[in-house]
Structure 1
Amino acid sequence: MIPFRFLHAADLHLDSRFTGLTHIPPAVRSLLRESTFAALGRLVGVAIKEQVDFVVISGDVYDVSDSSLQGQLRFQEALQELGSAGIGVFMIHGNHDPLDGPRLVSNPPKHVTVFGSDTPEYVTATRRSDGCEVAVISGLSYPTMKVIENTAQRFKRKPGCELYHIALHHCNVDGDLQHETYAPCSRKDLIEKGYDYWALGHIHTRSILLERPFIVYPGNIQGRSIKETGAKGCYVVDVNEDGATSLKFHELDVVRWQVREISIQGLKDETQWIEAVERALKEIREEHPQMMSVVRFQLTGRGAVHRLLTEKGAVADLLSELQRREGIKAEQKAFQGLVWTEGFAVETGVEMDRERLLQEDSFLGELLRFANFSKESTEELDVLFRSALAPMMENRELRRILSETGVEEKRNWLERAAELGATLLSGVEESGKDEQKAAFHGQDGGLDT
């Protein structure tokens, strides 16, 4: 087998609108909207620098079916740059950019292959340096936005061909609940088709599902919400003379999304809490000095400042001030090292001796013991959710959400409910039960309801 190298990317979502964010200065919103184009530019740079023989793009080049003219022109510009470097491009369309979506009517350049939506055809890829045939590539585009058929069944390895086989597929393997179940299939379905590398798209979390054959989601090239945290980019894939495959991830994002936890344990007052937030902001800037970061602070633990965070408006006030400061930097075009605080998730509680409460013969003790028991038993957890949410099950959308909710998420919900119950009951207990009151600390620190 002739060795070769290719780049695998998916879910470019060019010109995303970032509609989930509010109260953003125009300069920050402009940077966010430009970030997908900047990531595309970095993709082209990686392809040229790494001297790949070709690029495969596994769907969702654009963010919506009525893709913007700017997004289409910028993508065409990137294709031309790849073509000028002698790099071929093989691509499919996904649910966000289906073939029937309105877009510029133009034939793709000669070095670009866009696969159709009927039967995966076989296209031979060549090595850039000498034109030797190195791989057979197949792909299947979405004709419309919603494809609910298992279209993986249409793929088939080219009979009698010993070249390396690559399949481009925009699909949901094994029912990932975080994404729409379009083109659903299983790993078994893909393995049986005999391909060497499944270049997948649609799931935005980077993952290598299998290595024999390789079944790979590169994730999207630029995070677009707090649900898309961590580094985003593409894979450069090397295939050697023995057909062995190796992957190297390359970061492409210019805006990094993250959730940063701050515990209030041991914080005595508002000043110490603000200092903890400022330290976290400094750490983020030092970790990513060359890019913009968007962070949600997850406030956890138990401590004296809990009441301050939940009742005094301190969280909203600090958020406004942090956003004001970063907005000034953005207006001055100081984007490198800029950290935009997206919000605070307050998951804190009042100070309590939880272990002692678990041993006490009290309503709060019983509540905590019941929560622990239900968390440890999947069967009891399901029974609890069915009984507690029974009045709402007539709503079809709520039924769907519950059916798609995993065990770990249900456990998290239960844990939060138990924490909220303990917090609310603390005021009742401290006013009526001396033995319960002894289990909480800092009674003069704002535990009154």
Structure 2
Amino acid sequence: MKAFRFLHAADLHLDTPFSGMSGVPDRLRGLLRESTFAAFDRLVRLAIEEAVDFVVISGDIYDASDSSLRAQLRLREGWDKLGEHGIPVYMIRGNHDPLSGRRLRLALPGHVYEFGPRAESVTAVRRHDGEPVAVLTGTSYPTPAVHDNLALQYRREPGSVLYHIGLLHGNVDGQEGHDAYAPCSLRDLEASGYDYWALGHIHKRQILCESPWVVYPGNIQGRSLKETGPKGCYLVDVAENGEARLTFRRLDQVLWMESRLSIDGLTTEEAWKGSVEEWLDELREAEPGRITVARLTFTGRGPLHTLLQSGPEAAELLQELRRQESGRLEEAGFAAADAGGLMPGEGIVWPAGFKLETGVELDREGLMAEDSFLGELFRLGERTSAEPEYVDELVRAALAPLSDNRQLRRLLQEQDPEAKQDLLRRAEELAAALLNEDTPFPREGRGAS
């Protein structure tokens, strides 16, 4: 077998609308809307720079079945650039861009191969010498919802010594958070005899198995705070002995993230404000040339808890930080990517919102030593927390009035032991706050957005 290199990407979701974010200036909103295209441009550039033999894309190229003409034109532009360098593309369609899409599509160039509604195989070759190196098998979604186990259609060609790659857009082993389309098991994929499963549909990057390789590259660009962390694709080098080496390469222009900041040790508003600004500077330095959209959760205990929970300070600081970042956005001139595919200048950090999970200062040991109602309450909580079955019983009894609501009942059933311990601790703190006339009612989870 000859050594070769390919690029595996999935879930491009070109032209995602990015709705639902409040307080975002028009310029930033435009950059968010453009970010999926920017990531795709970097994918094309990466394939050319790394001189890959071919590119595989495992579904959901578009964000909607009736894809915009703009998305189609930008996609065709990328295909043409790859064609100029002799790089073929093998692609399947997923639930967001099925073959049944209503809008007429631009014709695909000859070097782009789109798999049909039934599993079919083609042979890929090395670009520089035309030597066959891999058998690629794929199937596209004919309609938006496919509930059949498509993996059962994939079987290795008997006697073939070529590397076998399966393109599949589906849900392996019922992963939560995504529709159960084209459901299959890891065992199904292992039984196929294939060497590499180029998966799509799950937006979280993960390698489920290394023998054979079963790989979700995730989407190339995060689109909300549900899709946090670096996004990109895998560059795959296959050696002559069939062993593969995977390298994750970032493509995202916008990084979405959740972050936490403790108020422990902070005693003044000025110290708190300085801590938040320092957090923003660190994020800006960590991601130069990118836009970071971050939601900050305040944790810990201290005298600032009362101020943050009851006053307007968190909302006012958020508004001021957004005003400052809007100014940086204008000054930085984030208008076009440089030769490396990043925006020029320092990074931009947009605070998407604040969440408050702080607590009052409590001297637990001192309270448990008191001969008082609170002392007895905390001693009871300490004894209960040491026995998981007592925690389960207490939480179940306390939340019984909510059990008539089906959704709440399901959420309560899904609570793990750690979450139940957290509920117990919150109840103790709430009782302490309510019994202390100097402390206002604490609103857990309150925040600004």
TM-score, normalised with respect to structure 1? 0.88
Give runs of aligned pairs for residues 366-445 of structure 1, distance below 5 A: 366-367=380-381, 369-371=383-385, 373-374=387-388, 381=392, 392=402, 395=405, 397-398=407-408, 405=414, 407=416, 411-412=418-419, 414-430=420-436
- What is the alpha-carbon distance in structure 2 between the residues aligned to residue 369 and residue 28 of structure 1? 52
1:207 aligns with 2:206: yes
Q: 1:239 maps to which residue?
A: 238
Question: What residue identity is the alignment partner of 1:352?
Answer: L
The 3-state SS of whatever aligns with 2:142 is coil
Q: Deviations over 1:357-400 (max 9, x none)?
A: 567752244245535644xx6x964x667666555555555566
Per the TM alignment, residue 105 of structure 1 is displaced from its structure 2 partner at its CA by: 3.0
- What is the alpha-carbon distance in structure 1 between the residues aligned to residue 434 and residue 395 of structure 2? 26
Q: Deviations over 1:89-115 (max 9, x none)?
A: 011111111111223334321111111
- What is the alpha-carbon distance in structure 2 between the residues aligned to residue 369 and residue 313 of structure 1? 38
Per the TM alignment, residue 134 of structure 1 is displaced from its structure 2 partner at its CA by: 0.5
Q: 1:149 maps to which residue?
A: 148
Give runs of aligned pairs for residues 219-298 of structure 1, distance below 5 A: 219-298=218-297
Q: 1:447 maps to which residue?
A: 439
- What is the alpha-carbon distance in structure 1 between the residues aligned to residue 309 and residue 6 of structure 2? 52
- What is the alpha-carbon distance in structure 2 between the residues aligned to residue 189 and residue 148 of structure 1? 15
Per the TM alignment, residue 20 of structure 1 is displaced from its structure 2 partner at its CA by: 3.2
Shift in alpha-carbon separation, 1:356–1:77, aligned structure 2, 3 A: farther
Q: Deviations over 1:142-189 (max 9, x none)?
A: 122222222211211122322100001111112211222222211111
1:339 aligns with 2:349: yes
Shift in alpha-carbon separation, 1:418–1:359, aligned structure 2, 3 A: farther
- What is the alpha-carbon distance in structure 2 between the residues aligned to residue 20 and residue 373 of structure 1? 43
Give the paired residue count. 426
Shift in alpha-carbon separation, 1:280–1:139, aligned structure 2, 3 A: same
Question: What residue identity is the alignment partner of 2:51?
Answer: Q
Per the TM alignment, residue 67 of structure 1 is displaced from its structure 2 partner at its CA by: 2.0
Per the TM alignment, residue 19 of structure 1 is displaced from its structure 2 partner at its CA by: 1.6
Question: What residue identity is the alignment partner of 1:72?
Answer: Q
Q: Deviations over 1:278-308 (max 9, x none)?
A: 1100111111122111111121111110111
Question: What residue identity is the alignment partner of 1:422?
Answer: E
Q: Could you list the runs of 5+ residues in structure 2 that have no partner in the other structure?
A: 335-345, 442-449
Q: 1:307 maps to which residue?
A: 306
Q: 2:338 maps to which residue?
A: none
CA contact under 8 A between 2:302 and 2:361: conserved in structure 1?
Answer: yes
Q: Could you list the runs of 5+ residues in structure 1 that have no partner in the other structure?
A: 432-445
CA contact under 8 A between 2:310 and 2:440: conserved in structure 1?
Answer: no
Shift in alpha-carbon separation, 1:36–1:357, aligned structure 2, 3 A: farther
- What is the alpha-carbon distance in structure 2 between the residues aligned to residue 399 and residue 168 of structure 1? 39
2:376 pairs with one of 343, 362, 365:
362
- What is the alpha-carbon distance in structure 2 between the residues aligned to residue 318 and residue 345 of structure 1? 13
1:180 aligns with 2:179: yes
**RMSD value over aligned CA atoms?**
2.3
1:138 aligns with 2:137: yes
CA contact under 8 A between 2:360 and 2:433: conserved in structure 1?
Answer: no
Per the TM alignment, residue 339 of structure 1 is displaced from its structure 2 partner at its CA by: 0.6
- What is the alpha-carbon distance in structure 2 between the residues aligned to residue 42 and residue 60 of structure 1? 18
1:330 aligns with 2:329: yes
- What is the alpha-carbon distance in structure 2 between the residues aligned to residue 171 and residue 359 of structure 1? 57
Question: What residue identity is the alignment partner of 2:358?
Answer: T
Shift in alpha-carbon separation, 1:133–1:84, aligned structure 2, 3 A: same
1:349 aligns with 2:349: no
- What is the alpha-carbon distance in structure 2 between the residues aligned to residue 402 and residue 4 of structure 1? 51
Question: What residue identity is the alignment partner of 1:429?
Answer: L
- What is the alpha-carbon distance in structure 1 between the residues aligned to residue 159 and residue 308 of structure 2? 67
Per the TM alignment, residue 127 of structure 1 is displaced from its structure 2 partner at its CA by: 0.6
Question: What residue identity is the alignment partner of 2:113?
Answer: T
Q: 2:111 maps to which residue?
A: 111
Give runs of aligned pairs for residues 12-31 of structure 1, distance below 5 A: 12-31=12-31
- What is the alpha-carbon distance in structure 2 between the residues aligned to residue 355 and residue 153 of structure 1? 61
Shift in alpha-carbon separation, 1:370–1:332, aligned structure 2, 3 A: same
Question: What residue identity is the alignment partner of 2:360?
Answer: V
Question: What residue identity is the alignment partner of 2:72?
Answer: Q
TM-score, normalised with respect to structure 2? 0.88
CA contact under 8 A between 2:35 and 2:252: conserved in structure 1?
Answer: yes
- What is the alpha-carbon distance in structure 2 between the residues aligned to residue 229 and residue 182 of structure 1? 23
The 3-state SS of whatever aligns with 1:343 is strand
